[in-house]
Amino acid sequence: MAIDPTPDELFATYESAFSELPGFLNFASYGPPSTKVRDHVAHLMGIAGEAGPDAVELLFAEEVRAREAFSRLSGFPLDQVGLTGSTSLGLFQVAFGLSRGTVLVSAGEFPSNTYPWLRNSEAGRARVELIGEPGTQVTPDVVARGLTADTVAVSVSAVDFRTGYVADLAGIREVIGPDRLLVVDGIQGFGVADLEWTLADALIAGAQKWVRGGWGMAGLAVSEQGLERIEPLLTGWTGGAGAHRYNGEGPPPLPGAGRFSVSNLSPYATGSFAEALELVETVGVQALQGLVATHAGALIDHLDAAGVTVLSPRERDRRAGIVVAGVPGRAAEAREALAAAGITVTRHGEDRIRFAVHATTRSEVLGEAAAVVAAFT
Ligand SMILES: Cc1ncc(COP(=O)(O)O)c(C=O)c1O
């Protein structure tokens, strides 16, 4: 009788697929892909290069694999899951699907989540109401204060790129009610944050960060209400039923999230995404979340012990993999010193160093990282 692998054994196999340098603490920028992803892209390129009779079929089957894995990990049914080229593109497609009312967005959001709404507003469609400022935590209270009778949607990052704050999606859903749309940019958490993604009417999450699937692909999941209310405006020939009739008529949109398809996607990008998502599933998001939380907690402890101000949330359910250190006026120097010590991070402005740890992070590097930063506080 076969014996199931233990969680430790599963994690050991997962971990052995990664080869980033131990000082890489920059997963909020991008997540180095596994050898599985890298090998799979080479394999798919090989299929394309050889050009056998079933090459196209094999290559485009990767899209289904990616959608299926995104469906399992997000909790959305398969027909409500599509793919698009990036988080930004998915947000544009959702934004341009709204023609009336006002959309509430924090001014502190990553620009991927402000430009689509601003552009849609400039085009005379749904208006955008920017609330807060850089660093504002988009709590249910903040959202509640911004709502008006005209608000048709709220768009928020599940995990804020700057502060690391994990949004209370259930609380936001409660204050906006069932009828307004909740649009969620999931890229800073999807794959390592075990969130209730189906609270969203539109969830968009790119492959390149915590999922570690490389650039060029994002999952786009849409609720039934979202499918009814978000017009498939920024879409193309592959988003329609009977796309291959080539008769010059605009075909009716596909029934599910596939209607947001603009054109065929790169099979290397869909294949990378599929491989990366399936690798996440071998360990499970809950287990990865636990490891990320442990490393983030240890880094916070080291920063505290070194006398460095921690600017990101400390409560376990309001943080994911991002930990922010305050280095007033000396962030550039701190980043340089970290790089000299082999530690890769992101600097935000003059005062902030953003660390981002993953499940594969080596705990030994965290104390050193805190000590380097402490010299600049
Ligand atoms: C919250 C957030 N959304 C979107 C993006 C960009 O995503 P994409 O390059 O897939 O458009 C980033 C990247 O830095 C981000 O932090």
Distance 207 CA to ligand 1 centre (A): 10
Distance 30 CA to ligand 1 centre (A): 10
The confidence score (pLDDT) of residue 326 equals 98
- CA-86 nearest atom, ligand 1: 10
The confidence score (pLDDT) of residue 249 equals 77
Pairwise CA distance, residues 189 & 146, whole Å: 25
Domain 7-30+285-374: CATH class, spelled out: alpha beta
Q: In order along the chain (377 residues), what is the average pLDDT of each group of 10 residues? A: 88 97 98 98 98 98 98 98 98 98 97 98 97 94 97 98 98 98 98 98 98 98 98 93 77 93 97 98 97 98 98 97 98 98 98 98 97 97
Helix ranges (H only) for 102-260 are 115-122, 140-146, 169-176, 224-229
- Residue pair 8/291 in contact (Cβ under 8 Å)? The answer is no
- CA-157 nearest atom, ligand 1: 1
Distance 85 CA to ligand 1 centre (A): 12
Residue of 84, 88, 92, 157 to mutate, ligand 1, most atoms within 8 A of C-beta: 88
Distance 210 CA to ligand 1 centre (A): 11
pTM for this predicted structure? 0.97
Distance 281 CA to ligand 1 centre (A): 23
CATH 3.40.640.10 in the chain: give the residue spans.
Answer: 42-282
The domain made up of 42-282 has a fold known as: Aspartate Aminotransferase; domain 2 (3.40.640)
Pairwise CA distance, residues 82 & 70, whole Å: 9
Atom 14, ligand 1: residue with shortest CA distance: 29
Distance 357 CA to ligand 1 centre (A): 17
The DSSP-derived string for 96-129 is: TT--SSEEEEETTS-GGGTHHHHHHHHTTSSEEE
Phi-psi region of 349 (alpha: psi -120 to 50; beta: other; left: phi over 0): left
DSSP state of 298: H
- CA-113 nearest atom, ligand 1: 3
Distance 208 CA to ligand 1 centre (A): 9
- CA-91 nearest atom, ligand 1: 11
Residue of 110, 204, 209 to mutate, ligand 1, most atoms within 8 A of C-beta: 110
- The residue among 146, 198, 202, 196 whose CA lies nearest residue 175 is 146
Residue of 161, 162, 203, 322 to mutate, ligand 1, most atoms within 8 A of C-beta: 161
Distance 242 CA to ligand 1 centre (A): 33
The confidence score (pLDDT) of residue 140 equals 98
- Residue pair 222/103 in contact (Cβ under 8 Å)? The answer is no
List all residues whose CB is within 6 A of at least one atom of ligand 1. Answer: 86-88, 110, 112-113, 157, 161, 185, 187-188, 206, 218
The confidence score (pLDDT) of residue 96 equals 98
CA 354 vs CA 4, 24, 147, 179, 287: distances in Å: 38, 12, 31, 36, 23
Distance 251 CA to ligand 1 centre (A): 32
CATH 3.90.1150.10 in the chain: give the residue spans.
Answer: 7-30+285-374
Residue of 112, 114, 324, 346 to mutate, ligand 1, most atoms within 8 A of C-beta: 112
Strands (E), the chain: 81-84, 102-106, 127-131, 151-157, 181-185, 202-206, 218-222, 309-310, 322-326, 346-348, 352-356
